[in-house]
Amino acid sequence: MRIAIIGAGPAGLYAGTLLRRHFPDSDIEIYERNPENVTWGFGVVFSDTALDFLREDDPETHAAIVPHMEMWRDLTLDVLGERVAIDGVGFAAVGRLHLLQLLTARARDVGLSPQFDADIGDLSRFQDHDLIIGADGLNSLVRQSDDFGVTLDYLDNKFVWYGTKRPFGTLTQSFRQSRHGRFNAHHYRYTPDMSTFIVETDSATWRAAGFDGMDEPAARAVCEEIFADVLEGAPLVANNSHWRNFPKLWCETWHRDNKVLIGDALHTAHFSIGSGTRLAMEDAIALVRALKDHPGAVRDGLAAYQAARQPIVKKIVTAANQSADWYEGFAARMDMPAWEFADSYIRRAGRIDDDRLRKLAPAFMAGLDLYRAKQEPAG
């Protein structure tokens, strides 16, 4: 097979490595429009169980990545200074750039030569290829080249992605009232001394605070002021840190002719459930498995990929969209008592009840039961 992979993010690099392993005689090209060792953002977070797919399907890549990850067992909600811990929710995080470097090294180890700083422009040069894989993110050239049944909407909340040189013990959600309005920060460490710090607010508060007229340093200073007690003097660090609205992308059609989509070129999942990179890499696994199961019949393999993978992804994306809806209304929920707020938060994706929570987070449920008991009228 002659294969072109457009995009050298986690999806594209991992797809290339797997394809080389299962189709060693194939001609595999990987093109990335950005320079090597350049990315935006800071850490990438996985649930601890999300790493199981790597351990089972690709122990070599699992062994290459896991030693570089920061891990913890709990999640913390900090609501106006009142903290509630939720146990049993394990996470692991790694720097996004470091992850890309590890995956690039894996691709080179199997004989691939990703081409960076390669602006493709159009797909005409690949028309004689057996397969074109669109792993080129939200603004995918491959997706825009054909009709993939796209739905693209944007959430109302604004968010901006920073880092900070202050490690946090767990993934923490800090909710704060400021002179501008209500804000949330999602923050977690991804190295022993560095953390991701995502600031979020509703669009009305964003405008009232004047962010629409601020340059990046001024906006960063305001965020440092809002979360001064959380940062404890540590500055925020910018890296292409501009306010955005989260895109909700979904494609009903996953393949057209010799073209197929994976990762953020195909679907997005809100960052509040930490599944974007996992989904991208699992897409790569599913695609390669389907092609392997249909030797010599690429288009049959692409159809099998969509048939097997789409229902799984749709379930996760639906949960992510429900989680995103919860965040769209977090400001009003901050009026709730902390324990009720935490209960609402942990159930936000609509997939968990008391019985499951008692098994998953027994210490949290014990605290919630105690809170509930105190609210019951005496006598």
Instruction: Note whether 2 and 129 are within 8 A (CB).
Output: yes
Instruction: Report which of 320, 215, 223 is spatially closest to residue 267, judged by C-alpha positions.
Output: 320
Instruction: Note whether 346 and 361 are within 8 A (CB).
Output: yes
Domain segments of the chain as ranges: 2-46+63-68+96-153+248-327
* Beta-carbon contacts of residue 110 (< 8 Å; ≥ 6 apart): 17, 20, 21
CA-to-CA distance for 295 and 306, rounded, in angstroms? Answer: 17
- Where is 162: in which H helix or E strand? strand 150-164
- The predicted pLDDT at position 376 comes to 80
Instruction: Note whether 220 and 241 are within 8 A (CB).
Output: yes
Options 3.10.450.50, 3.50.50.60, 3.40.50.80, 3.40.50.300; which CATH number does 2-46+63-68+96-153+248-327 get? Answer: 3.50.50.60
Residue 107 tokens, joined: 């691709």
- Where is 233: in which H helix or E strand? none
CA-to-CA distance for 289 and 274, rounded, in angstroms? Answer: 24
- Where is 174: in which H helix or E strand? strand 171-177
Instruction: Note whether 213 and 250 are within 8 A (CB).
Output: no
Ordered per-residue pLDDT tens for the chain, 379 residues: 999 999 999 999 999 999 999 999 999 999 999 999 888 889 988 877 667 777 777 888 888 888 899 988 889 999 999 999 999 878 889 999 999 999 999 999 999 999 999 989 899 999 899 999 999 999 999 999 999 999 999 999 999 999 999 999 999 999 999 999 999 999 999 999 999 999 999 999 999 999 999 999 999 999 999 999 999 999 999 999 999 999 999 999 999 999 999 999 999 999 988 778 989 999 999 999 999 999 999 999 999 999 999 999 999 999 999 999 999 999 999 999 999 999 999 999 877 788 888 998 999 999 999 999 998 876 5
DSSP character for 220?
H
